[in-house]
Homo-oligomer: A and B are copies of this chain.
């Protein structure tokens, strides 16, 4: 049985990372796809864990070699998902979690229609604004850009399979966990020749025609 790609997206500041971190500890056969970025690390972020931090030149070189599943420029920085890692883990039967912006998610959707697309939304645009103000890691211009972007991103919710409105972190974690488990019971994902053979064990050859 092949693995499944889960694309988790939504406006920045919405709490995607907290939900995903909690999820990684609760499930088996789950791997996090580490993206490449040209943006500088934030305090506490580790190269190779949170992101692969690369120079703009290196990023463009990789992009030209076709090494990204998707890439995007967000708030002046480049972000990209290394293709090789995702494909290898799908072959291994793993669940791969991709945490990307909406622009990138829509790009993946055009190439991977078998992936599962999950949108994490704030309780409202108003609440997102307050959260970003409290976080206070940015200047007001960068924040305005982020909010403008959030509005556009929220207009794309309908493109996603699932919508988690993140009002309560514990509830959102349970929702995400349930989605990931449920998807591994989808008939179209699991019913392959091997499983059919296993299920029909004990039906004699002469009977199968009935």
Mark A residues whose CB is within 8 Å of B: 119, 121-129, 148, 151-152, 154, 157-158, 160-165, 174-175, 177-179, 181-183, 185-187, 190-191, 195, 198-203, 207-208, 210
Which residue from chain B places its CB closest to the CB of A195 in the assembled complex?
Answer: B165
A161 touches B179 (CB 8 A): no
B181 touches A129 (CB 8 A): no
Q: For A174, list chain B residues within 8 Å (CB).
A: 181
Q: For A121, list chain B residues within 8 Å (CB).
A: 199
CB-CB under 8 A for A187 and B148, given A178-B177, A199-B124, A202-B126: no
Q: For A201, list chain B residues within 8 Å (CB).
A: 124-126
B187 touches A161 (CB 8 A): yes
- Inter-chain pairs besides A162-B182, A163-B190, 9 sampled, C-beta below 8 Å: A123-B198, A125-B199, A148-B210, A154-B200, A158-B187, A160-B187, A161-B187, A162-B186, A181-B182
CB-CB under 8 A for A181 and B175, given A129-B202, A210-B151: yes
Q: For A199, list chain B residues within 8 Å (CB).
A: 121-125, 154, 157, 165
| Best-buried of A157, A165, A199 by chain B (most CB within 10 Å) | A199
Which residue from chain B places its CB closest to the CB of A151 in the assembled complex?
Answer: B203
